[in-house]
């Protein structure tokens, strides 16, 4: 290992107590000190946090980036991320290999039922009371788009919003998954929880099943790092936000920061749906908890004046 000022002058052998002995495949090795530096740098950028015991995952995934750049060791890679003119682009590329993009259509069906049967009728009623026929839903961390198209198909299938201006917006930090989302064509892995009656929203093509153009028209995608609260203004104001299976990979501080952004983007009374294993109970936020028949969801509080009158 070369002598890098910010790592001190200890050789790899001299700091063997820090070394990670989890390597099974060939390539540059990451010691604990380097791991923590890289981990914190990535965490600042995109919120994702790796505990010490998942250092081998970071090592294995980032080796791809080192190979691509022709860099021999992680110390040099860390320097590249700090000082190279292309550091910003590389940070995105690092986030790209470190994120988990697993997703599929109709994920967590009980929650989708709460959305169609309870949330959508309320949101519709409120909009009609304002004289509006507009529905905005945000899928924050949408990966390759299955969640966005699922939401649009569900809205369509309720029949409650015919003739409305419907916009389902999905964002992700990964440009690779967004390209796939825009292509709207999927193979069998995306259909593992498919509901047969929604087959009508797909067209068979040589590359896979493609989402029907009518549904695609409702859906929009944008590149957005959720940690960038100022750029999140591109989302506009929304009635419902899905942020499922994204914040589980974040540390507490980053999670709170993103929840704050989501809160700001929601209309008053708007809903936040997290993944089934996620809860806001640990994070103090301004959201209210609302118990629906099939799920617990979170709400930006209504202004006092808009609450229904108390009975009795
Ligand atoms: C496991 S997928 C979840 C996809 C979908 N929400 C679902 O539940 O099926 C998590 C997605 O969050 C994205 N992500 C992670 N950190 C992000 C950030 N800081 N900004 C935007 N997207 C992020 C990842 O790229 C990944 O595609």
pLDDT for 223-254, tens place per residue?
A: 999 999 999 999 999 999 999 999 999 999 99
Please give the distance, rounded to the nearest whole angstrom, from the Cα atom of residue 103 to the centre of ligand 1.
9
CATH code assigned to 109-306? 3.40.50.150
**Alpha carbon separation from 196 to 1, 67, 192, 200, 202 (Å, rounded):** 56, 44, 11, 8, 11
* Mean pLDDT, rounded, of the chain: 90
Give 207-224 pLDDT, tens digit per residue: 999 999 999 999 999 999
pLDDT at residue 308, rounded to an integer: 57
Q: Which fold has domain 12-98?
A: Chemotaxis Receptor Methyltransferase Cher; domain 1 (1.10.155)
Point out the catalytic residue in the list 10, 12, 61, 256.
61
Point out the catalytic residue in the list 31, 136, 156, 172.
172
pLDDT at residue 21, rounded to an integer: 44
The question of whether 61 is a catalytic residue gets the answer: yes
Domain ranges (residues) in the chain: 12-98, 109-306
- Return the closest-CA partner of residue 140 out of 311, 303, 310, 298: 298
Give 61-104 pLDDT, tens digit per residue: 999 999 999 999 999 999 999 999 999 999 999 999 999 999 99
Q: Which of 96, 172, 235 to mutate to test the pocket of ligand 1 (most atoms within 8 A of CB)?
A: 172
CA distance 179 to 175: 6
Question: What pTM does this model have?
Answer: 0.90
Please give the distance, rounded to the nearest whole angstrom, from the Cα atom of residue 146 to the centre of ligand 1.
12
What mean pLDDT comes out for the span 145-151?
Answer: 98
pLDDT at residue 131, rounded to an integer: 97
pLDDT at position 2 over 70: no
The question of whether 172 is a catalytic residue gets the answer: yes
Least confident interval from 18-22, 42-46, 154-158: 18-22
């Amino acid at each position: 290992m070369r002598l890098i000022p910010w790592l001190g002058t200890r050789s790899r052998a001299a700091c063997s107590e820090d070394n990670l002995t989890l390597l099974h495949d060939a390539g540059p090795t990451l010691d604990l000190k380097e791991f923590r530096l890289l981990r914190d740098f990535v965490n600042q950028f995109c919120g994702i946090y790796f505990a010490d015991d998942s250092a081998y995952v970071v090592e294995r995934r980032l080796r791809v980036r080192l190979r691509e750049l022709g860099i021999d060791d992680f110390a040099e890679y860390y320097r590249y991320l700090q000082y190279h003119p292309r550091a910003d682009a590389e940070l995105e590329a690092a986030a790209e290999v470190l994120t988990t993009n697993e997703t599929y259509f109709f994920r967590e069906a009980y929650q989708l039922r709460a959305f169609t049967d309870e949330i959508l009728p309320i949101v519709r009623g409120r909009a009609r009371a304002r004289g509006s026929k507009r529905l905005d839903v945000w899928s924050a961390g949408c990966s390759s788009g299955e969640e966005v198209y699922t939401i649009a198909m569900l809205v369509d299938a309720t029949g409650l919003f015919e003739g409305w201006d419907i916009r389902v917006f999905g964002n992700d930090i990964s440009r690779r998954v967004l390209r796939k989302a825009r292509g709207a064509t999927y193979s069998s892995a995306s259909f593992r929880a498919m509901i047969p009656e929604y087959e009508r929203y797909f067209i068979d093509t040589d590359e896979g099943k493609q989402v029907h153009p009518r549904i695609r028209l409702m859906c929009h995608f944008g590149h957005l790092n959720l940690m960038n609260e100022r750029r999140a203004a591109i989302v506009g104001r929304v009635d419902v936000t899905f942020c499922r299976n994204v914040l589980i990979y974040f540390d507490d501080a980053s999670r709170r920061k993103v929840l704050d952004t989501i809160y700001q983007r929601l209309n008053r009374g708007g809903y936040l749906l997290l993944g089934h294993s996620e809860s806001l109970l640990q994070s103090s936020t301004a959201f209210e908890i609302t118990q629906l028949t099939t799920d617990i969801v979170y709400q930006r509080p209504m202004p006092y004046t808009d609450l229904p009158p108390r009975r009795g």
